[in-house]
Structure formats: C-alpha cells, structure tokens
C-alpha cells in the first residue's frame, strides 16, 4: 500500500510540474491579452477624423499648424484666412461635423477683414 501511495505521489508531482509550466504559459498569455485589450480601449482611428476636418477647410484658408489633444478632446488649427468670411465659413463647416461639439474663435481674431491670423479650438466627442 505504501508503495502504491509513493507511486501515486510521484505521478502527482510529475503531473503538477507539467501543469505548472502550462499554467505559467496560460498566465503569460492572459496578461498579454489584458494588455492588448487596455491598448485597444484607448485606440482612436485618427485617419477618418483628420480627413473629415481637412474636408471642412474652405478656399482662402491656410493651415500652418494642426494639433489633436486626446486628453482634453480638442483640435487646434492655426493659420491665416484671406478674409473674415473664409474664417467664419470654416467655423460653420467645423460646427456641422457630427463629432465636433463646439468651435471657438476668439473675438479679437474677427476684427480684421482681410489676412486674418487665427487660432481656432474645437472640442470633439
């Protein structure tokens, strides 16, 4: 009986060692899946957003700087407009996008009629 018990114990230890290695691999794979899921949760498809924004820029607008801030959900456009009307048209076009909540142009930038330097901030969803 003792010999049988020793054989079973030996087999159990050997089995546990094999399973321990498999369990270690499974834990590593699960950790990798969790990391991948966390990265995927923060992923944003920027290409369609940038394309839509670019399509709203009317004639007469020159963009010098464009930035997206994913922390505070803002888009900033810096540049110049040939006329104030061009700038206001861009504001209207941006406001018409589904993912834009608010477009802010400081009033001080609307005092010029031509060659208007601007910095526009838009909040996106």
Q: Which two structure tokens, joined as six digits, stand for 110?
A: 């609307």
Is the Cβ–Cβ distance between 85 and 112 less than 8 Å? Answer: no
Task: Pick the closest to residue 54 from 11, 18, 9, 93 (CA basis).
Answer: 93
pLDDT one-digit tens code per residue, 53-101: 999 999 999 999 999 988 899 999 999 999 999 999 999 999 999 999 9
4-13, 31-40, 85-94: least confident range: 4-13
How far from each other are the two terminal CA atoms of the chain, in whole angstroms? 72
pTM, two decimal places: 0.69
SS3 category, 94 = helix
**Per-residue model confidence (pLDDT) at position 13:** 63
* Residue 119 half-sphere exposure toward CB, CA atoms < 13 A: 4
| pLDDT higher than threshold 80 for residue 5 | no
Arithmetic mean of pLDDT, 34-39: 91
Place of tokens 């031509």: 114
């Amino acid at each position: 009986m003792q010999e049988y018990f020793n054989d079973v114990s030996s087999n159990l230890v050997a089995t546990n060692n094999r399973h321990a290695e498999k369990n270690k691999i499974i834990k590593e794979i699960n950790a990798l899946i969790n990391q991948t899921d966390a990265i995927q949760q923060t992923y944003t498809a920027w290409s369609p957003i940038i394309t839509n924004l670019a399509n709203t820029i009317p004639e007469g607008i020159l963009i010098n700087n464009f930035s997206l801030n994913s922390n505070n959900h803002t888009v900033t456009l810096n540049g110049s407009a040939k006329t104030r009307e061009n700038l206001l048209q861009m504001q209207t076009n941006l406001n018409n996008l589904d993912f834009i909540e608010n477009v802010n142009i400081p009033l001080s930038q609307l005092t010029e009629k031509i060659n208007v330097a601007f910095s526009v901030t838009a909040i996106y969803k």
